[in-house]
Amino acid sequence: MNKSTEIEAAVLRRLLQHLDEHKEVQNIDLMNLAGFCRNCLAKWMVTAAQEQGETLTYDQAREKIYGMPYEEWKQRYQKEASAGQLEQFNQRKD
């Protein structure tokens, strides 16, 4: 692994740690503010694995991103989106 790849990997680990430390930040908040969320990171991880000839399922990737099975994270930490959050999200999609 070259230095650039090591640095990029360290940044991803730090991002995941930061998201883990801030479970109160909901995916819809991330989507509305930044245009990506934890699920997007998992999808990108699956794609990157495929590009490297590796097999990684979406569920496996989400477990890496969330630090636990997604359904467990969802049950523990996910809140129902407010009408305002949903409106902002839908406007962003249009």
1 pLDDT more than 80 = no
How confident is the model at residue 33, as a pLDDT?
95
Binned at pLDDT 50, 70 and 90, residue 23 comes out as very high
How confident is the model at residue 92, as a pLDDT?
84
Binned at pLDDT 50, 70 and 90, residue 93 comes out as confident
**Across 62-76, average pLDDT:** 97
Residue 26 gets which letter from DSSP? -
Give the residue extent of every domain in the chain: 3-93
- Cβ of 8: how many Cβ atoms within 10 Å? 12
Q: How many CA atoms lie within 13 A of 86 on its CB side?
A: 5
Category of 53 on φ-ψ map: left (φ > 0), alpha (ψ -120 to 50) or beta = left
How confident is the model at residue 41, as a pLDDT?
98
CATH number of 3-93: 1.10.3340.10
